[in-house]
Amino acid sequence: MNTELRRKLRRITNILWAGGVTNPVTYIEQISYLIYLKLLDEEESSRELKARLLGDKPNANGALLFPKQAARYRWSKWRFKSGRDLRDFVRDQVFPYMGNLVKEEPQIAEYFRDAVLEIVDPNVLKQVIDEIDGIEFAKLGTDVKGDIFEYLLTHLGQSALNGQFRTPRQIRTMMVEMVAPDLGDTIYDPACGTGGFLIDAVEYILAKYSTEPQEVPIYGEEWLEKRRQKMDEAKREIPTLQTYRKGPGEKIPDWNLLERSMYGIDVSRQLMRIAMMNLVLHGIRHALVKRANTLSDMGGLTEDDLYRKYKVILSNPPFAGVLPKESIRKDLPTRSKKSELLFLGVMMEALAPGGRCAVVVPEGLLFGSTKAHVELRRKLVEDYGLLAVVSLPAGVFKPYAGVKTGVLVFRRPSSGAKKDKKAKHKEKVWFYEVRADGFDPDKISGGGRPETPERNDIPDLLSQWDGYKKSGFKKIPGVESGTLLPPGSDEPRCWWSSIKNVVENDYNLAAGRYKPQIAEKAPDEDPAELIRETLAIEREIAAGLEKLLLEVEAVV
């Protein structure tokens, strides 16, 4: 994304802020409406050109979004209006038209259903439309269009909506790499928010199917520009620099397969719309993203939603919610009312045989002693393949929350796999303690934590994980739980425990429970000399007490 485009986006957000649209979630939603209308106009022009080249009459085959009289709803037909005429036309005619395309374009209709234009000042609306009109999206690659929306989403770093917030890039990237989605995998986030996990999964697949993928720091390409460095120079200077890969995905044989592999649900219609636009601008036009309550029988889920299975699940669901017992889905493996347990149950149930999942959980879920906690962990340990428990720093979600969290990585056994309890108990769980994640754990600056690329354990975690995975999960990194390390040893970052040991610990999955200890260094002094010194001290104490006794008796 070039400097001029970045400047234009900054002007748009400043115009809205000055015009009274100050909630970042709201103004991103409003911008996304207008961007979508501009995209659809460009798509219509493309369809018209294709019809002319094929010798068809543009309106004859019903392929156009704005046939015949509906052409007046196209961006290019009304963008020259101004004042109240512009505002009222967009609000009262364009939005309702888009929301009624249920048969022709159901996804567009879903996007605009109940949409409200909240830019009430006609002059502010006109300024924003003029700025967006100057962006020719059709001439931009999907990477640039994706960067546009990622730039807008950075403004969410300064606010949270109903306790929801974006999962930091460094954590999303780590989780995506651990489950390694591939083309053909159905990918699901049951609490998708702005769609960050789905976008990162798409980018991971695109990079895999690119001839020359580009490596990017988790801090973004601007970070390199400010340092006036190339990627290889930055990595030489900072070995712990965390990066991810991007690419055009030109080797993908079936783009439609990729588009229809993305599934997301969120209870907020605002966030659902933002997630959809995020995917559209990343080239995914037909992702199956919808508004619903994943946990409820009455939350808008269809039969397909309830029984569909997914190969990859990635999520950071909300932790603090409590649902009425009557509303909770009956098919979940827990009867708890706590949302963190219910979401984990949803993911366990929705995972396809052979599928893998990475999910952020509050640390309390890992060691909670209630019957619901223990039973859900028992099912996870006994019936699934629990591969890793990653302990995250307490400050990873600051400034929104300081709650200590972890990441569970597990897979569902393939269909027909026989359960052998003795063999199961010989399996191992890998623990990794991330003490630094590339950002300062204590400071808050500009609505977020300052970058500390020289302090990041995640690249080491991913390197260890890669070797573990390549061994078929046979050669597990680190030392066994209960090992007493020699005095002077470095504090371990990773270790492992047998499932049998986990079972004996009441299915406790807190990483610290199994962390190897470092033996204290034996004293260098001669033991006999230490004894003599101790006796001398004791004699000195005794003499002092004798003197004190004589003084007390003299007074009496």
SS3 436: coil
Number of CB atoms found within 10 A of residue 180's CB: 16
- Is the model more confident about 329 or about 161? 329
Contact 148, 281 (CB under 8 A): yes
Q: How far is CA 83 from the centre of its chain?
A: 41
Residue whose C-alpha is closest to residue 277's, from 93, 96, 132, 146 = 146
Tens of pLDDT, residue by residue over 364-382, are 999 999 999 999 999 999 9
Q: What is residue 165's predicted lDDT score, i.e. its pLDDT?
A: 58
Tens of pLDDT, residue by residue over 21-74, are 888 888 889 999 999 999 999 988 888 887 777 766 554 444 677 888 889 999
Residue whose C-alpha is closest to residue 431's, from 498, 369, 504 = 498
Per residue, the 3-state secondary structure of 161-178, as one string, reads ECCECCCCHHHHHHHHHH
Q: Is the pLDDT of residue 181 over 50?
A: yes
Tens of pLDDT, residue by residue over 478-519, are 999 999 999 888 999 999 999 999 999 999 999 999 999 998
Tens of pLDDT, residue by residue over 427-470, are 999 999 999 999 988 877 656 788 999 999 999 999 999 999 99
Tokens representing 207 are 């990079």
The angle at the Cα of 269, spanning 264 to 273, to the nearest 5 degrees, equals 65
Q: Give the confidence band of 419 by pLDDT, cuts at 50, 70, 90.
A: low
DSSP code, position 370:
S
- HSE-up of residue 493 (Cα within 13 Å, Cβ side): 16
Element (H or E) spanning 421, and its range?
helix 421-425
Q: Is the pLDDT of residue 158 over 90?
A: no
Distance between CA 207 and CA 177 in Å, rounded? 12
Distance between CA 131 and CA 148 in Å, rounded? 13
Number of CB atoms found within 10 A of residue 82's CB: 14
Q: What is residue 61's predicted lDDT score, i.e. its pLDDT?
A: 42
Distance between CA 406 and CA 316 in Å, rounded? 10
Per residue, the 3-state secondary structure of 178-222, as one string, reads HHCCCCCCCEEECCCCCCHHHHHHHHHHHHHCCCCCEEEECCCHH
Residue whose C-alpha is closest to residue 192's, from 266, 287, 259, 263 = 266
Q: Give the confidence band of 296 by pLDDT, cuts at 50, 70, 90.
A: confident
φ, ψ at 398 (rounded to 5°)? -65, 150
Q: What is residue 256's predicted lDDT score, i.e. its pLDDT?
A: 93
